[in-house]
Amino acid sequence: MTNSLAEQDIQATVGTGPGKATTFELVVDGDGARDGLHIPVSADSALGIDFRRTP
């Protein structure tokens, strides 16, 4: 069974200075985000930063 958190993309925009911002994408991995969040380093690479909840 999948829920509404399965395999979504989230775009976040962060202010980085006066009049400046950067946007990045987080990928929700796995059913119910069980595999955490992933921030890809580029569209051409599977490499990135993974965030996972620890028990």
Q: What is the pTM of this model?
A: 0.50
Q: How many CA atoms lie within 13 A of 28 on its CB side?
A: 15
Residue 1: what pLDDT? 45
Contact 31, 2 (CB under 8 A): yes
Sign of the C-alpha dihedral computed for residues 54, 48, 15 and 28 taken in this order: negative
Alpha-helical (H) ranges within the chain are none
Residue 38: what pLDDT? 79
Residue 15: what pLDDT? 92
Write out pLDDT tens, residues 1-55. 445 555 677 788 989 899 999 888 877 776 666 777 777 777 787 788 888 777 6
β-bridge pairing 37-40 and 48-51: antiparallel
Residue 23: what pLDDT? 86
